[in-house]
Amino acid sequence: MSTVVMPSAPRSPAPTARAQRTCAHLDFNRITDEWFQIAADHMKLEREIQLLLRSPYRELIVQIPVRMDDGHLELFHGFRVQHNAVRGPYKGGIRYHYEVDLGEIRSLAALMTWKTALVDVPFGGAKGGVTCDPTHMSRNELQALTRGFTQKIDMALGVYRDIPAPDVGTNSQVMAWIMDEFGKKNGYSPAIVTGKPVNLGGSLGREAATGRGATIITQEACTAYGVDLRRARVAIQGFGNVGSWTARLVARTGAKVIAISDVAGGIACERGLDPERLWDHYRASGSLAGFDGSREISNDDLLALDVDVLIPAALGGAITEDNAADVQARMIIEAANSPVTPAADDALRARGVHVVPDILVNGGGVTVSYFEWVQNLQQFHWSLERVNTELEARMKRAWGAVFERSTGERIPLRLAAYVEALNRVAEATRQRLV
């Protein structure tokens, strides 16, 4: 059996070890809805607009039969939720994970609507996913699954309709298969997905974009709240696309990354880890463990370390009311989607911890996805320098708008980010629909 090399994800541990994920019981859809409602109440958003913005526009649930390498037929289930397209085509990643369900995808689709509005790219919000474990599937099986999923949701996709991208458990190879499968029926359409291999029309800088955006926001937040990032101690949960790039780029600012983890556990080193060398070690061994000069720690230990900045960059629900009291960080940068639950957010805020919200922190990915889409439509390539310069400008503009509202109205950053995003989507809705 040949296994696809997912650059972001070595194999998951055996199913028994997976029990360490504690958030399976969390209702992410309810959590996202709660943030929406708090913001809608704060801004006194009219009832009609609330009705239109709260629920998704369209949801697809499809079955995907795949003939596995050993000959048996496996039936997978896939989802594509299109939340809102009032500001532009639906846009959002595709997640392959064994805990994917409709509620989680629904929540992530809504987050995309608020995120695209906040970083001000002309897209709406969507998300897709398949309930599967890609780390235990061969390359052939993953390709068959991806092509089957693309065929089933093809009628809802389109260059000006709905544009997928990578998320947890998917990568540029998966995007290449989607582009190819969509192209069979619809003709050459590189703009149908973003996060493609550069060779097929992907953008320079897309792979690092979410981590780069998170690093820019970390710098801005540290400046605003008086934390000297060059002397700061940082811990990062997750070492996939977002976590590994954030680690590398944050370390380049001079900060000391003292701990990093993945699904199997973490490592720590008081002197600071070298994320570039750690990435080579990880690629070679498939594990963080055994890295020179580091000690092994658990994911729970990592979240409770005495650090200035904690960056959850793995899955949702990492910090809940059960472990919020253990967190010692002065600032939490939500690089993952929904890593802090509302109850944990309240508890952290009461202790003066600054929580910088996901829809702002991880908006760099969709920003460069927009640049990729623009390049595909024009059949013209941008330099890496141009991508990074324009990304930095947009992230700083988004931070500025959120921070100004937060200080001006004396409200938390998350509420400020939601109000800013909802305002933009609500205004477009009034102009187009009501």
**Annotated catalytic sites, by residue?**
127
d(CA 181, CA 370): 21
Q: For the stretch 63-73, what's the b/e string if a residue is b when 16 or more beta carbons lie within 10 angstroms of its beta carbon?
A: ebebeeeeeee
Q: Which is nearer to ligand NAD, 169 or 190 (CB)?
A: 169
- Backbone angles phi and psi of 367, in degrees to 5: -65, -45
Q: Which is nearer to ligand NAD, 335 or 344 (CB)?
A: 335
Among 162, 220, 262, 308, the residue binding ligand NAD under the rule CB under 6 A is 262
Structural tokens at position 349: 């805020």
Contacting residues for 364 by C-beta, under 8 A, at least 6 apart: 119, 209, 210, 211, 212, 213, 214, 216, 391, 395
Minimum distance of ligand NAD from residue 376's CB (angstroms):
17
Q: Give the CB-nearest residue to ligand NAD.
A: 240
Quick one: the chain helix, strand, coil %, rounded to 5? Answer: 50, 20, 35
Minimum distance of ligand NAD from residue 211's CB (angstroms):
8
Residue whose token pair is 């000391």: 256
User: Per CB under 6 A, which region of 34-42, 48-56, 217-225, 308-316 contacts ligand NAD?
Assistant: 308-316
Q: Interaction with ligand NAD in 310-369: which residues (CB under 6 A)? A: 313-315, 335-337, 362, 365
Angle, alpha carbons 55-57-62 (nearest 5°): 105
Minimum distance of ligand NAD from residue 73's CB (angstroms):
27
d(CA 32, CA 15): 28
Minimum distance of ligand NAD from residue 189's CB (angstroms):
21
Structural tokens at position 182: 């969509």
User: Per CB under 6 A, which region of 71-79, 250-258, 261-269, 340-348 contacts ligand NAD?
Assistant: 261-269
Q: Which is nearer to ligand NAD, 89 or 166 (CB)?
A: 166
Q: Which is nearer to ligand NAD, 148 or 166 (CB)?
A: 166
Q: Which is nearer to ligand NAD, 212 or 354 (CB)?
A: 212
Selection from 318, 358, 319, 320 nearest residue 337 by Cα: 358
DSSP-assigned letters across all residues of 69-95:
TTS-EEEEEEEEEEEE-TTSSEEEEEE
Minimum distance of ligand NAD from residue 223's CB (angstroms):
23
User: Per CB under 6 A, which region of 58-66, 140-148, 160-168, 371-379 contacts ligand NAD?
Assistant: 160-168
Angle, alpha carbons 238-129-137 (nearest 5°): 75
Q: Kindly report the number of other CB atoms within 10 A of residue 36's CB atom.
A: 21
Helix (H, G, I), strand (E, B) or coil at 338: coil
Q: Interaction with ligand NAD in 222-251: which residues (CB under 6 A)? A: 237-243
User: Per CB under 6 A, which region of 148-156, 178-186, 257-265, 405-413 contacts ligand NAD?
Assistant: 257-265
Minimum distance of ligand NAD from residue 283's CB (angstroms):
12
- Backbone angles phi and psi of 246, in degrees to 5: -60, -45
- 261 touches ligand NAD by CB under 6 A: yes
Among 56, 128, 166, 190, the residue binding ligand NAD under the rule CB under 6 A is 166
Q: Which is nearer to ligand NAD, 128 or 238 (CB)?
A: 238
- Tell me the site size for ligand NAD, rule CB under 6 A: 28
Which residues in this chain contact ligand NAD in the complex, by CB under 6 A? 8-9, 20-21, 166-169, 210, 237-243, 261-263, 299, 313-315, 335-337, 362, 365
